[in-house]
Structure 1
């Protein structure tokens, strides 16, 4: 460990004109040179930039500090390389997988005679699999030269004997499907030119080669179904599992009814990739279910559960080394386990064909909602309330009217919406259009983007249109206005939606990667109980008693602030 820490102390002092990514490549290139004797100028990643005069002194220093690293074991050296890439995140190398996660993924290759790893993010798992030193053959395929060059360097440093192929992985010119295949296309990478995509994959999606923009993740799913291996793993971002536009829904349908989808593993933020907060999902496919004649349940596994992960800083997670991902997928039963659930194809269909694991771990929360509604008649929210969605304002800098757009941050601790800070001027035409979405006293607002599940009540003193100022829901909110004749009071609706049980349930319905969203379809379908009028009166009494307490708290805070009236609090 002394060698490693001394190296990083020296490495951090090397600056000059070398960017962080170039310094990391310089380390790997120098290791390849010193371990194999290959002249530096013949190494794949050595660019013309390294030959510039201003680079020579930093490179000499780099050579000096790398020499002791050749004494490290393969395991320690690989950990050092992983630490180097983790420090630069994914700023210049697209999604370097963390070593602890790569080791877990590589365990799925156990027993495979040959392995095929596709796209840049699969580079480190390919290295780990090859380091097992078995008789298996490992192929690494990427269409990007920078990625195949980096693998060539890793091959030299660790003596891997990996077959490296620079071509689009979907072309399949590298031979028959392997026993185990790992496909890890960069998230949201678009294929805008489909001419090089095999026709059989496009036919599966009903696409014309001259049209459409398709993500590599969708193509990877269809490629896996078209080129069946004994076991396959495909890593995708959450959007591929829930979007109902484009070809994502079609690809999910193909996957579900292929009979090959074994499991979906939810990988939490920071566990797989250091450089992004996006969660990811590992889809496991195999041939153990015998095709479409037997559509077995799909196992959803939550790797964020403490059984598999330890919480880190800023809402990120790291792998618990002792927990096996392979065993979680292959176990005969997971009954009673909080971290997994086997879901039938029919239930997945009932939920719209969405494969987001969070949706299926909401089952316990659904039970809690049912208990909350026990003994009361329930209705879909859309039957009880008009759902008012935000619409663009027709702004007019010379207008005489004002529209204020409410946001989730403007719901105070007592649950009321306070005066929104974001204001726009409107003319008469803009006001006439905006009035349709005006927030009126008694409306309930619900956050459907970002801070999912935040709920607020519009107060009685919210301005009327006649005042020249109106409040409207901002882009992250929808307004719920009870329909005439409905035997439900606004306070009761607010109290129900803002309960801990409903907040947890609503959050479980959210989808999205960087920004969570709640679909209007799910909002409309929320089951709302209608208690008796006498029970609702009790709810209102409790609500207003709580408001009195909040008023006292505000008064105490003001008094405490006023008591800070001497130096050093006042000048």
Structure 2
């Protein structure tokens, strides 16, 4: 049929070239400096240093080695530096309260004289690097070894910095992962890095680059304690327990913190759920109603080093003009690797491009403050649906029933028994088989259960988890079958369409692609009932309707043939080697 043609993804679109400073190339894993760092890591590992402490301890050694080289002309033992314990003690004194990371280092006790002497060779080589190059190599090592605080790569850090803007006279970087931004700045000594706990890596890199570093447990709170021109925050995504006064997740709190703290621009990295979840509604309202949100940038899967969740960047601008549109952009993996400078500049300049679009504050308010990019940037399937002629919205020809969650009252002997349908009850033909799950429904929930009863001729569409799965309810449906909360029930009400026609349309490649485009959710995909009820449905001519119905029956008949073939194959498989479990023997 005309709607079953495969949707072909468009190739990545190259933005118009803009002459901006290109981000620094990522450090090669096997560079001379990385080999030296790896040798030190191997030495520390052999000395019994735990794997989760390797990068932190190496960062302390590197910071000391650079300081020793600059102050004493070499990295060795002499009157000013008689041993590692004394050297680390001197570093601790120079850093003040942050110096506790040197005092708490286990290296002076764990490393033997021979091991320290061996490390000095590589540390001398590293001390010849500039402070910036040494910091870049430390972060490359942290990425290589999966340091928990290293969420983003150097490329992504440069992208965030460019989104925020040039000439960062006053910039605050919240959370340890923002170190990748710090090393990309031209003037890192003008930055302030705020972290929650004493991280040796963060403190060492901040020290090397001349940035102020502060440890503040309140960095995870939503309220700002000072104003800064530019703020960039890369918090742990969806972590709990950051604030004693709020139930919001870590990245939700970070959005409020950045929005209230910056006086010019800010960028915060969040999980996709922040764009649409009910818990984040008040945050989105604050951004939109105050006209602070400037751009929503979706990054591809794999951008973060510690999770497959595709992160989203919210760009905040305190100097937006009234009625200025908000940019919605989907960045590709290739763009982040090769064109991040151009992409960030295009977003700042508000240029039109095929991988982005614009929406007004009013548009977002009409969408219940949902910031999901696909809501404003239609995908290929959505664009094709818009071009269909003689259509009506799905809710114009069918009743849409959203199934609710029901509590099983199995301890109530008077409870009514229902069979609750789930995705696993859909067979390969698309028909709904007898549901496996038995539910005991008490009188309090009986009306709700009756509202989501399933009848022959209904269609079920999964809107949670396996979004898009469609089930055809045939005459085998029992009078106590109900839909589970993962479904919406679609019940045709128009004489101009039939259940087979509607089922085949919803199961078509076009609609399945559309469902994937508009679905939201990070860990679990979700589809809003409103997205389903508004699906354009072509009203068929009688001959088209008849053709689709005949095709539907032909498909079911083919599945019956397949079933018979499978039964035959099964019988043939058992013909010569039947297994008799009861007798515990087999015969040939």
TM-score of the two chains, using structure 1 as the length reference: 0.76
Following superposition of structure 1 onto structure 2, how do residues 165-564 of structure 1 map, counting pairs within 5 Å? 165-167=214-216, 168-169=218-219, 176-178=227-229, 180-188=230-238, 189=240, 192-194=243-245, 213-245=247-279, 248-271=280-303, 273-287=304-318, 289-290=320-321, 294-303=322-331, 305=332, 308-309=335-336, 319-320=337-338, 324-331=342-349, 333-334=351-352, 337-362=353-378, 364-372=380-388, 374-380=389-395, 384-396=399-411, 404-420=419-435, 422-424=436-438, 426=440, 437-462=452-477, 464-465=478-479, 471-483=481-493, 487-532=496-541, 534-557=543-566
- For residues 244-286 of structure 1, the C-alpha deviation after alignment (integer angstroms, 9 at most, x for no partner) is 45xx333323322434432111112221x21122222212233
Measure the CA separation in 2 of the matches of 1:224 and 1:558: 63
Q: Which residue of 2 aligns with 1:124?
A: 180
Distance change >3 Å, CA 441–CA 431, structure 1 → 2: farther
Distance change >3 Å, CA 398–CA 11, structure 1 → 2: farther
- Following superposition, the deviation at residue 162 of structure 1 comes to 0.3
Equivalent pair of 1:307/1:323 in contact (CA under 8 Å): no
Measure the CA separation in 1 of the matches of 2:168 and 2:441: 69
Q: Which residue of 2 aligns with 1:28?
A: 59
Unaligned runs of 5+ in 2: 1-29, 69-85, 93-98, 580-587
Distance change >3 Å, CA 551–CA 379, structure 1 → 2: closer
Quick one: which of 152, 156, 161 aligns to 1:101? 156
Measure the CA separation in 1 of the matches of 2:308 and 2:455: 38
- For residues 22-63 of structure 1, the C-alpha deviation after alignment (integer angstroms, 9 at most, x for no partner) is 12212222222333247235454357582797x557x98588
Equivalent pair of 1:32/1:153 in contact (CA under 8 Å): yes
- Following superposition, the deviation at residue 503 of structure 1 comes to 1.8
Following superposition of structure 1 onto structure 2, how do residues 45-56 of structure 1 map, counting pairs within 5 Å? 45-46=101-102, 50=106, 55-56=110-111
- For residues 323-354 of structure 1, the C-alpha deviation after alignment (integer angstroms, 9 at most, x for no partner) is 633223134532xx331112233332332221
**Structure number, greater radius of gyration:** 2
What is the root-mean-square deviation of aligned Cα atoms in Å?
4.0
Measure the CA separation in 2 of the matches of 1:414 and 1:121: 49
Instruction: State the secondary structure of the residue aligned to 2:228.
Output: coil
Measure the CA separation in 2 of the matches of 1:569 and 1:289: 76
Equivalent pair of 1:11/1:62 in contact (CA under 8 Å): no
Distance change >3 Å, CA 558–CA 146, structure 1 → 2: farther
- Following superposition, the deviation at residue 289 of structure 1 comes to 3.4
Equivalent pair of 2:203/2:213 in contact (CA under 8 Å): yes
Distance change >3 Å, CA 346–CA 70, structure 1 → 2: farther
Instruction: State the secondary structure of the residue aligned to 2:173.
Output: strand
Distance change >3 Å, CA 23–CA 556, structure 1 → 2: same
Distance change >3 Å, CA 491–CA 388, structure 1 → 2: farther
Measure the CA separation in 1 of the matches of 2:367 and 2:380: 16
Instruction: State the secondary structure of the residue aligned to 2:209.
Output: coil
Measure the CA separation in 1 of the matches of 2:324 and 2:462: 37
* 2:212 counterpart of 1:163: yes
Measure the CA separation in 2 of the matches of 1:80 and 1:412: 54
Measure the CA separation in 2 of the matches of 1:10 and 1:150: 15
Equivalent pair of 1:449/1:476 in contact (CA under 8 Å): yes
Distance change >3 Å, CA 351–CA 84, structure 1 → 2: same
Instruction: State the secondary structure of the residue aligned to 2:267.
Output: strand
**Number of aligned residue pairs:** 515
Equivalent pair of 2:462/2:469 in contact (CA under 8 Å): yes
Distance change >3 Å, CA 66–CA 566, structure 1 → 2: farther
Equivalent pair of 2:275/2:372 in contact (CA under 8 Å): yes
Distance change >3 Å, CA 400–CA 329, structure 1 → 2: closer
Equivalent pair of 2:292/2:320 in contact (CA under 8 Å): yes
Distance change >3 Å, CA 10–CA 254, structure 1 → 2: closer
- Following superposition, the deviation at residue 67 of structure 1 comes to 4.8
Measure the CA separation in 2 of the matches of 1:556 and 1:323: 58
TM-score of the two chains, using structure 2 as the length reference: 0.74
